[in-house]
A and B are shown apart, each in its own frame.
Chain A
């Protein structure tokens, strides 16, 4: 059995304000715990050694999925499982279901949360590819108020985000795009494994041309999980196989994967292209204007 390092304190926050107050009280050695499916394993391996854990599992205000204006708002404590099952998310973007289906396994999905996934900021995090593709934004709160940060500015790098000490991510927002088609593609060595590479896309086709599109990539060293040049290339063009291929090639061009036991860099680069192409094709097919 793995044995975590000593933990001085564990508190259950009663509200977002309380969570922030607790974070301030314990300072930089405190960590929020949501689903605990990234943090607890790291603690057991003694890779993370927080002094205090502030548990946000009781915060019902962070648990809803709803529409506000022309955005879908997903609370930080919404579980993977709820994203997977949400008819609302599926109706607007099938990519949510496709993506969640290939995140971890049912046990992890029952506990792991949206907020935890974004804040963990693993370079292979699937929801990060999805969020970047859809050009969502996150809402961060501290004792002085809230701010909204575009997903494509949220990550500083692997495991580093805009969430500072004494701050909590409260929700994630996704713009609604009527008629959008979307898809998610992932290659993993085994079900439940992290991605060797994964790509999520959405495409809005109007009058035979791509009016809008987004491409998000995880695990392949794409800065902010995206390659905007590939999107810019495609917008305004007909979604022909040739153009999709060109966009996919450009997406791969913008990636800088590293070799590891999941695969060598040349393979991951190939996957970036192959999976982008496959996701784009299916997004185009399912776009209502297509």
Chain B
């Protein structure tokens, strides 16, 4: 169960099991032969475009579509009114103008009464080509009555704030979840309050409170969202090519919305060009392409452009947090209390398990050993795009980790203590695992100090501090920042976790052909995570079949079993486990067949990679390839042994897996201009068993770039009038290779005790772990100026302003 075992090589030179192996999917990607939704062109296909609201908050007085309809090449123009007229025989509402969100709220497919964010869908044009569709959109005349928008979450609950969701009869902008709660709490409120009060009264203790904002950012996948839908009127079959991270979940949502049985709906997610949570939700555009094919009888393609993607689809974060940390003067943490104002936009569309309306934010107590923690999250509506909990966040653990890691650094500053020393003093110890956190999470395994020491070793920590001291004496400002993160990923145990009532267990199917080649059918959906490679390696590891002889099929609901899809780093913890379990079922069936062939009892057989042999007589055995043929052949099988080797499984994870890591960032800051240069980044991840270290490192590299981007440049801010100030890549900046140093990676391997191969999820580790390391490094550099905190993104302007003692309010227009 350890990663260090060297797997033997297949004839193609691939590890028959775990180890570095080139990504199978890159063969097509690097040749430009990937097949994305926009590459799908069906005969007779029509195109579409969406008219979007220019205002954040306005009443729709009238919509005149006549000029658009008259444009040659236009096939249909659909408005909210049209949708209200299409009856929907389903439990979730009686017409198509509104649809359910993943959080049991409602969202307008096309606005009927009001528009509630800039970029909201108002009308849908279907035309012979995408140019005509766009031309027609410009000809639609909407008469709006502008209303005052709510752009500042902090003002959303003021008594005179305009009410956004009057459609639901609301009288304020509070959000009520499916359980009837308006705030979400976790941990022990009284114990935490008492511990903090005691610390305040104790001269040997300190209490630090810090306002920390995680501003709204966007996943910005390279491929924007889109779909091609076709309803075959003869068979009644709806086929939908769509950018989805969760094809099966989408299918069931469509089935519920449309009142169709699942088997009449086929969702195909071909290659997906990045997801990061952006492609978890169901967007109005998808639904409109379905309505488009119903109305026209032809396939209809909808593909949003970059601006539409940035302005209307799932954002991430937007958490205004106030954290309080209490500790002894020696640096022993005693308690943490957090109060959060969560900006959910105009519709509560966040994707998270039903029982976790604030996602897994409650894991904020972090990697440290202290008894008291409590948080309270208050969600509000604002006139911003809905969605959320997207962007590689493992369900808001990104916010949680950022909060605790910033708080620990604020505490270190208050105590005038080295932040590394402070962390080492408080990290959970190996013997405490499995560890139950003060908010009730059971961390499965960890050797935290070891991981931190490896990172400090790579960094040459003592040398760095020396260098910093010398530089400070010369008036140069370098900073060293730490982050130690623990995530809980792999949602999740079905008794605790579901989305819209769908439990989070994953199905899987493994077919072994007579020739011993195999097909593995997955419910999870790669968006770049290399599932076609790593899942073959899991089967290879279990059965000894060459990975190149194992085809991994995913992304088509007609070809794969049910499961909830890929997000929150859940694929390896859930479907990866399922792959091992189903392989073991096959192995067990193979044992029965081998026993029949070798004329012995199955109990007399022993397994070595790819082969059952008779105990004590290694020569007498059958390889998996031989067994495959025998199982389909004429061999007489004992009663009760079915023949063939195929198997299916459903994996219901007993717990989340808890990957962790220690990151160290080194920056140089030019105080004259506020520019930050990330000079070094050291990342030591422990994600348990590494199936393919190269793929793990690829995930980490990408996540570090994400994190540097969020820390230094990415933000979706709004002006007072409700204009989105991040609606293009000129304004929403993504980091380039020039902003990212050559990463220095390390690893420790502490397998998950409950996962069949000991693996933990790693897809989001670096995105979660890196922003606090960068910010902590910049704050460390600015310490001589007395700066303790400034919010991301740390643009040159923001850094300079922080030095002046006047940091920027990052979620609003810069003033």
Partner-contacting stretch, out of A89-97, A148-156, A173-181, A266-274: A266-274
| A260 B814 Cβ-Cβ under 8 A | yes
A128–B135 CA distance with the chains assembled, in angstroms? 35
A191–B708 CA distance with the chains assembled, in angstroms? 14
Which residues A223-273 have CB closer than 8 A to chain B? 259-264, 267, 270-271
| A191 B739 Cβ-Cβ under 8 A | yes
Min distance, Cβ A186 to any Cβ of chain B, angstroms: 10
| A271 B673 Cβ-Cβ under 8 A | yes
A264–B303 CA distance with the chains assembled, in angstroms? 36
B14 at the interface (CB under 8 A from A): no
Chain A residues, CB < 8 A from B728: 45
Min distance, Cβ B128 to any Cβ of chain A, angstroms: 13
Min distance, Cβ A7 to any Cβ of chain B, angstroms: 10
Which residues B34-60 have CB closer than 8 A to chain A? 38, 49
A1-B303, A190-B739 are contacts. A261–B135 as well, Cβ < 8 Å?
no
Min distance, Cβ A47 to any Cβ of chain B, angstroms: 11
| A267 B674 Cβ-Cβ under 8 A | yes
Which residues B737-769 have CB closer than 8 A to chain A? 738-739
Min distance, Cβ B778 to any Cβ of chain A, angstroms: 14
| A1 B130 Cβ-Cβ under 8 A | yes
Min distance, Cβ B335 to any Cβ of chain A, angstroms: 38
| B673 A187 Cβ-Cβ under 8 A | yes
| B306 A2 Cβ-Cβ under 8 A | yes
A158 at the interface (CB under 8 A from B): no
| B733 A264 Cβ-Cβ under 8 A | no
Closest to A1 in B: B305
Closest to A268 in B: B797
| A6 B135 Cβ-Cβ under 8 A | yes
Chain A residues, CB < 8 A from B813: 259-261
| B135 A190 Cβ-Cβ under 8 A | no
| A261 B306 Cβ-Cβ under 8 A | no
Which residues B123-138 have CB closer than 8 A to chain A? 130-131, 133-135, 138
| A3 B808 Cβ-Cβ under 8 A | no
A4–B728 CA distance with the chains assembled, in angstroms? 16
A46–B135 CA distance with the chains assembled, in angstroms? 10
Which of A2, A189, A275 makes the CB contact (< 8 A) with B713?
A: A189
Min distance, Cβ B138 to any Cβ of chain A, angstroms: 8
Chain A residues, CB < 8 A from B303: 1
B815 at the interface (CB under 8 A from A): yes
Min distance, Cβ A149 to any Cβ of chain B, angstroms: 30
A46–B728 CA distance with the chains assembled, in angstroms? 14
Please, what's the 1-or-0 string for B724-742, where 1 marks a CB less than 8 Å from any CB in chain A?
0110101101011011000
Please, what's the 1-or-0 string for B771-815, where 1 marks a CB less than 8 Å from any CB in chain A?
000000000000000000000000111001100000010000111
A2-B305, A187-B673, A260-B814 are contacts. A267–B800 as well, Cβ < 8 Å?
yes
B630 at the interface (CB under 8 A from A): no
A19 at the interface (CB under 8 A from B): no
Closest to A188 in B: B796
| A261 B713 Cβ-Cβ under 8 A | no
B717 at the interface (CB under 8 A from A): yes
A187-B796, A264-B808, A267-B800 are contacts. A2–B814 as well, Cβ < 8 Å?
no
Chain A residues, CB < 8 A from B795: 189, 262-263
Category for how many chain B residues contact A: 35 or more
Chain B residues, CB < 8 A from A275: 673
| B735 A190 Cβ-Cβ under 8 A | yes
Closest to B738 in A: A191
A9 at the interface (CB under 8 A from B): no
A105–B795 CA distance with the chains assembled, in angstroms? 20
| B796 A274 Cβ-Cβ under 8 A | no
A196-B796, A259-B814, A270-B800 are contacts. A189–B733 as well, Cβ < 8 Å?
yes
A266–B808 CA distance with the chains assembled, in angstroms? 12
A191–B733 CA distance with the chains assembled, in angstroms? 10
| A3 B130 Cβ-Cβ under 8 A | yes
Chain B residues, CB < 8 A from A45: 307, 728
A4–B673 CA distance with the chains assembled, in angstroms? 38
Which residues A1-58 have CB closer than 8 A to chain B? 1-6, 45-46
B616 at the interface (CB under 8 A from A): no
| B797 A196 Cβ-Cβ under 8 A | yes
A192 at the interface (CB under 8 A from B): yes
A271–B671 CA distance with the chains assembled, in angstroms? 11
B675 at the interface (CB under 8 A from A): yes
A165 at the interface (CB under 8 A from B): no
A1–B134 CA distance with the chains assembled, in angstroms? 11
Which of A2, A105, A187 makes the CB contact (< 8 A) with B307?
A: A2
B159 at the interface (CB under 8 A from A): no
A187-B673, A264-B797 are contacts. A193–B306 as well, Cβ < 8 Å?
no
B672 at the interface (CB under 8 A from A): yes
Chain B residues, CB < 8 A from A190: 712-713, 733, 735-736, 738-739
Closest to B810 in A: A261
| A262 B736 Cβ-Cβ under 8 A | no
Chain B residues, CB < 8 A from A187: 673-675, 796
| A263 B796 Cβ-Cβ under 8 A | yes
A260–B723 CA distance with the chains assembled, in angstroms? 13
Please, what's the 1-or-0 string for A179-210, where 1 marks a CB less than 8 Å from any CB in chain B?
00000000101111110100000000000000
Chain B residues, CB < 8 A from A270: 800
A1-B130, A3-B130 are contacts. A189–B796 as well, Cβ < 8 Å?
yes
A105–B138 CA distance with the chains assembled, in angstroms? 33
A193–B728 CA distance with the chains assembled, in angstroms? 12
Chain A residues, CB < 8 A from B725: 261
Closest to B224 in A: A1
Min distance, Cβ A50 to any Cβ of chain B, angstroms: 16
Which of B131, B672, B815 makes the CB contact (< 8 A) with A3?
A: B131
| A264 B801 Cβ-Cβ under 8 A | yes
Which residues B294-349 have CB closer than 8 A to chain A? 303, 305-307
| B738 A3 Cβ-Cβ under 8 A | no
| B797 A263 Cβ-Cβ under 8 A | yes
| A191 B736 Cβ-Cβ under 8 A | yes
Min distance, Cβ B670 to any Cβ of chain A, angstroms: 9
Chain A residues, CB < 8 A from B730: 193-194
Interface centre among A190, A270, A275 (most CB of B within 10 A): A190
A46–B675 CA distance with the chains assembled, in angstroms? 34
A191–B717 CA distance with the chains assembled, in angstroms? 21
A187-B675, A189-B796, A196-B797 are contacts. A1–B38 as well, Cβ < 8 Å?
yes
Chain B residues, CB < 8 A from A191: 736, 738-739
A267–B798 CA distance with the chains assembled, in angstroms? 9
A192-B736, A261-B725 are contacts. A3–B134 as well, Cβ < 8 Å?
yes
A105–B672 CA distance with the chains assembled, in angstroms? 25
| A263 B814 Cβ-Cβ under 8 A | yes
Chain B residues, CB < 8 A from A5: 135
Min distance, Cβ A199 to any Cβ of chain B, angstroms: 11
Closest to B308 in A: A2
Interface centre among A1, A45, A189, A267 (most CB of B within 10 A): A267
Which residues B672-692 have CB closer than 8 A to chain A? 672-675
A105–B675 CA distance with the chains assembled, in angstroms? 19
Chain B residues, CB < 8 A from A193: 730, 733
A259–B808 CA distance with the chains assembled, in angstroms? 12
Min distance, Cβ A10 to any Cβ of chain B, angstroms: 15
A261–B730 CA distance with the chains assembled, in angstroms? 11
Chain B residues, CB < 8 A from A2: 305-307
| A264 B814 Cβ-Cβ under 8 A | yes
Closest to A267 in B: B797
A5–B131 CA distance with the chains assembled, in angstroms? 7
A and B contact pairs by CB, cutoff 8 A, 14 listed: A1-B303, A187-B673, A189-B733, A190-B713, A190-B735, A259-B814, A259-B815, A261-B814, A263-B800, A264-B797, A267-B800, A267-B801, A274-B672, A275-B673
Q: Besides A260-B814, A267-B801, 18 other CB < 8 A contacts?
A: A1-B38, A2-B305, A3-B134, A5-B135, A6-B131, A187-B673, A191-B736, A192-B738, A259-B814, A260-B813, A261-B717, A261-B725, A262-B797, A263-B796, A263-B797, A267-B796, A271-B673, A275-B673
The 9 closest A-B pairs by CB, nearest first: A263-B797, A191-B738, A3-B134, A267-B797, A2-B305, A190-B733, A187-B673, A274-B672, A3-B131
